[in-house]
């Protein structure tokens, strides 16, 4: 779909500098811009590219003033905040790509399921007994929705996602491809023969509104009760959330984070990639955990933690400085010991 500079300026409440009728039908980074694409400039570090870009339209801040001649085929759209306006356009573009309501064949909807208005259900989708699907939901092909699942309005489930029985999704949630919600938690206990016997996992997963979960994540059902993902949480790809975990509002986790069973993560926590959180601990609201850190104990006060076990970032930096100097320190210690031997002739 094509948009003119005038239409884009209208959407963003901006001002066109150049050809108001020039059109674009794609998006590009400013350094990779080609004819017929729209780009943006907000970071001064990338300003050099605006003088060579092949993009047809570029969104810039109102304060932008070129210091060199711009390409003759480039039209500017000046706005208050180029970055947020470009994000708004991306959201607008994404909404236009949303599937039209339709039930493709073959697919299965149980006779006892309740379906809201304007559903898109892709081919080979499955909706189990007693499930309730809200309005304006998009379910891509090969999605499995088990028995008695509740999915709120305006949710999107991408191809291959699986929602096990009894799980609940709030409104405006996005579940990306391959993610599994409600698989059994890792619950086993050794018997008298030393064999591990499975503990039935009879709880569920509750996901509140405006949650986005990346591809190939696993959110395990609770042993009893619920594993809970609070409002506004964002999980990157390949995140593991174990049984009975609770993740507080507006917390974000980067790829490959693992959270062990019954951990309670506070609100507005930020966790870097490949970090590990031990089970049965609490993480205070506002805590930041650096990538690849390990958190074995409860964090009672917000801090930025790094290392394994995680310690306050400034302490880690000092410790790491000492660690890097350790070979030189050991060498100097050996030299001192040798000198003492020479002076005292005492064996150390």
* Distance from C-alpha of 37 to C-alpha of 231, rounded to nearest angstrom: 36
Joined tokens for residue 98? 């949303």
For the chain, count helices (H), then strands (E): 5, 40
Omega of the bond prior to 285 within 30 degrees of 0, cis? no
**Of the candidates 259, 264, 265, which has an alpha carbon nearest to the alpha carbon of residue 242?**
259
282 in active site: no
What strands lie across the sheet with 226-229, from one edge to the other? 114-115, 132-133, 150-151, 168-169, 204-207, 226-229, 246-247, 264-265, 282-283
* Distance from C-alpha of 345 to C-alpha of 194, rounded to nearest angstrom: 59
* Distance from C-alpha of 184 to C-alpha of 33, rounded to nearest angstrom: 47
Give the DSSP per-residue string, 171-231: TT-EE-TT-EEEEPP--EEE-TTSPEEEPP---EEEE-TT-EE-TT-EEEPPSSSEEEE-T
Beta bridge partners of 236: none
Which among 142, 158, 243, 282 is annotated as catalytic?
243
With contact defined as beta carbons under 8 Å apart, do 77 and 62 qualify?
no
* Distance from C-alpha of 127 to C-alpha of 246, rounded to nearest angstrom: 27
Distances (CA, A) of 2 to 21, 133, 248: 11, 34, 41
Residues designated as active site: 243
């Amino acid at each position: 779909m094509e948009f003119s500079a005038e239409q884009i300026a209208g959407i963003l409440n901006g001002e066109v500098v150049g050809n108001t009728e020039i059109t674009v039908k794609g998006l590009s980074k400013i350094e990779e811009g080609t004819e017929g694409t729209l780009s943006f400039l907000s970071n001064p570090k990338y300003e050099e590219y605006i003088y060579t870009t092949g993009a047809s339209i570029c969104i810039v801040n109102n304060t932008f003033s070129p210091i060199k001649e711009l390409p003759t085929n480039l039209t500017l759209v000046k706005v208050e905040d180029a970055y947020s306006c470009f994000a708004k356009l991306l959201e607008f573009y994404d909404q236009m790509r949303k599937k039209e309501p339709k039930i493709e064949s073959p697919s299965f909807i149980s006779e006892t399921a309740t379906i809201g208005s304007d559903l898109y259900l892709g081919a080979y989708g499955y909706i189990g007994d007693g499930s309730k699907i809200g309005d304006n939901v998009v379910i891509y092909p090969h999605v499995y929705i088990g028995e008695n699942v509740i999915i709120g309005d305006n949710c999107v489930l991408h191809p291959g996602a699986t929602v096990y029985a009894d799980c609940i999704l709030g409104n405006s949630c996005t579940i990306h491809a391959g993610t599994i919600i409600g698989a059994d938690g890792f619950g086993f206990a050794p018997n008298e023969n030393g064999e591990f016997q499975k503990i039935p996992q009879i709880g569920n997963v509750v996901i509140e509104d405006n949650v986005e979960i990346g591809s190939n994540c696993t959110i395990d059902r609770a042993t009893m009760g619920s594993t809970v993902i609070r409002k506004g949480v964002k999980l990157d790809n390949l995140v593991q959330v174990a049984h009975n975990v609770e993740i507080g509002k507006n917390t974000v986790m980067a790829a490959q984070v693992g959270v062990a069973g019954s951990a309670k993560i506070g609100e507005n926590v930020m966790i870097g990639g490949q970090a590990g959180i031990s089970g049965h601990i609490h993480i205070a609201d506002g805590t930041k955990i650096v990538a690849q850190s390990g958190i074995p104990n409860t964090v009672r006060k917000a801090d930025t933690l790094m290392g394994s076990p995680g310690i306050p970032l400034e302490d880690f930096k000092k410790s790491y400085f000492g660690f890097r100097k350790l070979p030189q320190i050991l060498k100097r210690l050996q030299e001192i010991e040798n000198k003492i031997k020479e002076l005292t002739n005492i064996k150390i």
